[in-house]
Amino acid sequence: MSITPAERSAPGKVILCGEHSVVHGRPAIAIPISGMRAHARVEPGPPGSGLRMRASNLKREFLLRDLQPDHPLGRAAHLVLDHLQQPEPDAILTLWSDLPIASGMGSGAAITVAAARALAASLDSQLSADIVSGITFEVEKIHHGTPSGIDNTVIAWERPIYFVKGQAPEPIRIHTPFHLLIANSGIASSTREAVDEVRRRWMATPSYYDVVFNCIGAIVRAARAAAEQGALQALGTLLNENHELLAKMGVSLPQLDRLVQAARAAGALGAKLTGSGQGGNIIALVEAETLEPVRDALVVAGAATVWHTQVSTGYD
């Protein structure tokens, strides 16, 4: 079997609103971060070598045949080869990423999407966004246990999406481009633990948490309308309200609240934690004029790193 050298990439992501309640069947909105990406390259390997994988950022190298069945990269490669009904190729798959690991920016899902696409391309095949998303969902289960599917979906489709678990994603047409600042608290958080904790609380007091989840669902629907109409003030207010409900759910921290307050005080239209919480990142919705003051305020308030992404209209 001949290998065609191929290189592919996939974006990071951020959840605009609806995290956690999305695990419980309510809607959420996610945005690709096109400027920060994971990359994969496949080249022919020596005959009989099998598939060698190089994870450049981790400075690790391994052979597919040596990996345990629950190794994410091994699982991804097997799912692609099974889907294409191809045997293991003699090839070298090199992976690298601009995305920080375990930061809620979708680094694991982006690596899987890039790897799946590059491997398929090297076998002269192409995988649809739907198939890549499905493969990545299977791999995400190894990382997170019970993911909603939002990360693999937004990264495979690479466009803003309105997402409900188990339903086809609905692309959102952003009316007016806007800026997001993403600030890292410097506190590591585990998506799996945060999701399990919220599930335990919901099972202990379902009537309370169902109301919280429903309120967030209503916020997400309103946020979609605001994004589609260019009502950025309203969108900011909705993000603020979503943060207060996430705090009620118990997934915020004083450090995250401080970052959110600092962004708002410096002129952000709205700010909230993003992703699983209990650490990780916050996002701030800003206009071009307030981008720098809000960035400075986030650094003063203790942000370890601040990234910027523009959410544009040009996805069609």
Catalytically annotated residues: 151
Nearer to ligand PMV, 191 or 290 (CB): 191
Cβ partners under 8 Å of residue 4, min gap 6? 121, 122, 123, 124
Residues 187, 280 contacting (CB under 8 angstroms): yes
Q: Measured from the CB of residue 30, what is the shortest distance to ligand PMV in angstroms? A: 8
Q: Measured from the CB of residue 144, what is the shortest distance to ligand PMV in angstroms? A: 6
Q: Which helix (H) or strand (E) holds 265?
A: helix 254-265
Max CA separation in the chain (angstroms): 61
Q: Which of residues 106-165 bind ligand PMV (CB under 6 A)?
A: 144, 147-148, 150-151
Q: Which of residues 21-60 bind ligand PMV (CB under 6 A)?
A: 22-23
CA atoms within 13 A on the CB side of 310: 10
Question: Among 30, 10, 12, which residue's Cα sits nearest to residue 99?
Answer: 12
Q: From 43-51, 89-97, 255-263, 274-282, give the range in contact with ligand PMV by CB under 6 A.
A: 274-282
275 lies in the site for ligand PMV, by CB under 6 A: yes
Number of residues that bind ligand PMV (CB under 6 A): 16
Alpha-carbon gap, residue 156 to 146, rounded angstroms: 19
Structure tokens at 95: 């992976």
Written as one string, the DSSP assignment of 135-155 is: HHHHHHHHHHSS--SHHHHHH
191 lies in the site for ligand PMV, by CB under 6 A: yes
12 lies in the site for ligand PMV, by CB under 6 A: no
Q: Measured from the CB of residue 172, what is the shortest distance to ligand PMV in angstroms? A: 17
Q: Measured from the CB of residue 18, what is the shortest distance to ligand PMV in angstroms? A: 8
Residues that bind ligand PMV (CB under 6 A): 15, 19-20, 22-23, 104, 144, 147-148, 150-151, 191, 195, 275-276, 280
